A and B are shown apart, each in its own frame.
Chain A
Amino acid sequence: MPLTVQIPFTRYLDDQGQPQGDLPGWVDDPPLLLELYRQMNLVRLFDQKCVALQRTGQIGTYASTLGQEAVGTALGRAMTDADVLIPYYRDTATQLQRGVQMQDILLYWGGDERGSAWSAPAAVEDFPICVPIATQACHACGVAAAFRIRQQPRVAVTTCGDGATSKGDFLESLNLAGVWQLPVVFVVNNNQWAISVPRCLQSAAPTLAHKALAAGIPGEQVDGNDVLAVYDRVRTAIERARAGKGPTLIECVTYRLGDHTTSDDASRYRSAEELSEAWKREPLGRLQRFLHQQGLWDEAQEQRLHRELGEQINAAVEAFRALAEPEPSAPFDHLYQQLPAGYAAQRDQWLERAGRLAGGEHG
């Protein structure tokens, strides 16, 4: 049987930033457009900084968002404070939009759990970024089920990569979201690669959005390099979920312009030609050209923006560097709400060993 079902695909701006047909009415909002542009630039510059900090040994492994800034920026902007984000590790853009501080993100990738203990009001109920692939999809359904049980008009939004859509827990979650008509939105960042494994080796489905069909929920594709298209479709899906009309799967078609993480070397498995082709479609230049055409942006503004963002990022890096070491007892302090009595001896041994190491004593 041929797979004839057509999955809708949305794109408002082409690679050159030229509008494709009529733009939705909400686009006529210069402050919003400028805000999205500013934010995407912040993400790109901050991302570069993170990679540089990793290269100089100041943070650990980092998963760059390069080329996928539009997805998280649009997504984070489309969510309200009442909603809950259940992200994965390539969500720097989304987290920043939710109010998580750059300093927190540096802390996290710097190997410090305090980086997931943020207090940003919109994000206090957000999950920490998820490393075991696709496991977060289940959490999103649980959060959405809690909203449904308590009859709260809130939405759970969860993200994952193209590779994640091959996992059972992703599919189990789509299935449940359909049966229970949960207020959840699944956003797939299809950046064409799962480390070195290309999209074509993940699934024979014509699109990843097709996976929604068997779960009985709407699935659609959007040009993930077009921040306007992502914002429009994600916002629609969120409001649909909020209105009690059920879940949506949105596949954002992007490209991972960077290595998988700072530990990876993508030149081992993909061609320079493919990469340079993909650069022609990247999201920042596209929106910038559109803003130029609209008379909303010029070179002087661009330079000023970069200067401002650079200062903001440097201040965050300084704040990160200035932070005190974590409490030595932290791994035991938060193991259980109250540490069971039987742990007292282990905690003391830990403190003794940690104290010796902190004191520079080795061996």
Chain B
Amino acid sequence: MAEQNTLCMVEAINLALHRAMTDDPDVVVLGEDVGPNGGVFRATLGLHERFGFRRVMDTPLAETLITGIAVGMAAQGLRPVAEIQFMGFIYPGMEQLVSHASRLRSRTRGRLSCPMVIRTPHGAGIHAPEHHGESTEAMLAHVPGLRVVIPSSPRRAYGLLLAAIADPDPVIFLEPSRLYRSVRQPVTDDGQPLPLDTCFTLREGSDLTLVSWGAALKETLEAAARLAEEGIDCEVIDVATLKPLDAETILASVSKTGRCVVVHEAARSYGPGAEIAALVQEQLFHALQAPVQRVTGFDCVIPYARQEMAYLPDVESICRAALRTLEQAS
């Protein structure tokens, strides 16, 4: 019997890393402070002691390098799991992700491939310094050849990270830092991966579909509960795998409810919500009873700690958007 523990998300991530490194000697971990310190959020705690410096590598402070050596290691058949300390520092590695990791397989017509994972804390709301609250997943989800994954619970973090590490292609694994320690849940260390291209339906409902991911699901689920008190029955979908997008689950839900609200922390313009809204109207124009609504971050620079909470989608905004879709005469 696999052991079951009540874990927060960062502990579940740590558990998945221990599991992956135990099961596959090709899995290696690298990044800044991931060694004896166990990572600034402690996601890599205990790995260095257990698996040694050869497989758990503190790198110099250089994000282009971290991303680029992961490409080289992966091309050699290792399964590097690189940590970028905060999403705000992923940008130097973008060239490596866009120009190499995502297309090494395609460029060589399958001769080489890039089974690597980049893990990085995602999103605002933890009162961190400037540049520590980014949610720029759309930049990554735009890139053909990458996978972009974002868990919203400890259990899904465990299963999705295992899947990301086992996947034969590059995966960006975004970890909502606001959820790192806020929720606890029993997690079984069963080594079972979750599917990488399927949305999770967190709540079933018939009146409207709320689509979200990552930390914003906390407010989205709260909004669904509040709406339920008013007799409005929401379906809540967790798009944990943003790229490739599981359109099928979203479309099936909206064709049932006829109404859709997308909630995300990322800035509004060109955000993933635009993609989902476009998809829904392309495929379900006649089934829609109201225009698709978006509740998102703003097209302003993500504010520093004092004002960051106003940037995040709140329960009230989500409820209002839901009500707007219901006000439309059908």
Interface residues of A (CB under 8 A from B): 84, 86, 113-114, 116-119, 124-125, 127-128, 132, 135, 137-149, 156, 168-169, 172-173, 175-176, 179-180, 330-331, 333-337, 340-343
Residues B244 and A142 in contact, CB atoms below 8 Å apart: no
Q: List 24 A-B contacts (CB under 8 A).
A: A117-B111, A125-B76, A127-B112, A128-B112, A135-B64, A135-B96, A138-B69, A138-B96, A142-B68, A142-B69, A142-B70, A142-B72, A142-B76, A146-B76, A147-B76, A168-B62, A173-B65, A173-B68, A334-B106, A336-B169, A337-B105, A337-B113, A340-B244, A341-B248
Which residues of chain B from 164 to 208 have a CB within 8 Å of any chain A CB?
168-169, 197
Which residues of chain B from 50 to 89 have a CB within 8 Å of any chain A CB?
54-55, 57, 59-60, 62, 64-65, 67-78, 80
Q: State the CA gap A145–B55 with chains docked (Å).
A: 10
Interface status of B308 (Cβ within 8 A of chain A): no
- With A139-B75, A146-B77 already in contact, 7 other A-B pairs whose C-beta atoms are closer than 8 Å: A128-B108, A138-B71, A142-B73, A147-B76, A169-B68, A176-B59, A176-B62
Residue of B whose beta carbon sits closest to that of A152: B76
Q: State the CA gap A132–B101 with chains docked (Å).
A: 13
Q: State the CA gap A117–B113 with chains docked (Å).
A: 12
Number of B interface residues in the complex (CB < 8 A): 48
Residues A169 and B109 in contact, CB atoms below 8 Å apart: no
**A140 → chain B, closest Cβ, in Å?**
6
Residues A138 and B64 in contact, CB atoms below 8 Å apart: yes
Q: Known: A334-B110, A342-B244. Is A139-B197 also a contact (CB below 8 A)?
A: no
The 7 closest A-B pairs by CB, nearest first: A142-B72, A138-B68, A142-B69, A146-B76, A117-B109, A139-B72, A340-B244
Interface status of B145 (Cβ within 8 A of chain A): yes
Residues A145 and B111 in contact, CB atoms below 8 Å apart: no
**A286 → chain B, closest Cβ, in Å?**
35
Residue of B whose beta carbon sits closest to that of A331: B106
Which residues does chain A contribute within 8 Å of B47, judged by CB atoms? none
Q: State the CA gap A86–B100 with chains docked (Å).
A: 13
The total number of A-B Cβ pairs within 8 Å is: 144
Q: State the CA gap A116–B112 with chains docked (Å).
A: 10
Which residues does chain B contribute within 8 Å of A147, judged by CB atoms? 76
Interface residues of B (CB under 8 A from A): 28, 54-55, 57, 59-60, 62, 64-65, 67-78, 80, 92, 95-96, 99-100, 104-113, 144-145, 147, 168-169, 197, 244-248
Residue of A whose beta carbon sits closest to that of B65: A172
User: B69, B78, B108, B113: which contacts A139 (Cβ < 8 A)?
Assistant: B69
Residues A138 and B65 in contact, CB atoms below 8 Å apart: yes
**B94 → chain A, closest Cβ, in Å?**
11
Which residues does chain B contribute within 8 Å of A145, judged by CB atoms? 57, 69, 72-73
Q: Known: A330-B109, A337-B105. Is A343-B72 also a contact (CB below 8 A)?
A: no
Residues A132 and B64 in contact, CB atoms below 8 Å apart: no
Central interface residue in B28, B95, B106, by most chain A CB within 10 Å: B106
Which residues does chain B contribute within 8 Å of A143, judged by CB atoms? 72-73, 75-76
Which residues does chain B contribute within 8 Å of A125, judged by CB atoms? 75-76, 112
Q: Known: A142-B70, A336-B169. Is A127-B75 also a contact (CB below 8 A)?
A: yes
Residues B109 and A334 in contact, CB atoms below 8 Å apart: yes
Which residues does chain B contribute within 8 Å of A156, judged by CB atoms? 72
Which residues does chain B contribute within 8 Å of A146, judged by CB atoms? 72-73, 76-78
Residues B69 and A337 in contact, CB atoms below 8 Å apart: no
Residues B145 and A336 in contact, CB atoms below 8 Å apart: yes
Residues B71 and A142 in contact, CB atoms below 8 Å apart: yes
User: A118, A135, A342, A343: which contacts B68 (Cβ < 8 A)?
Assistant: A135
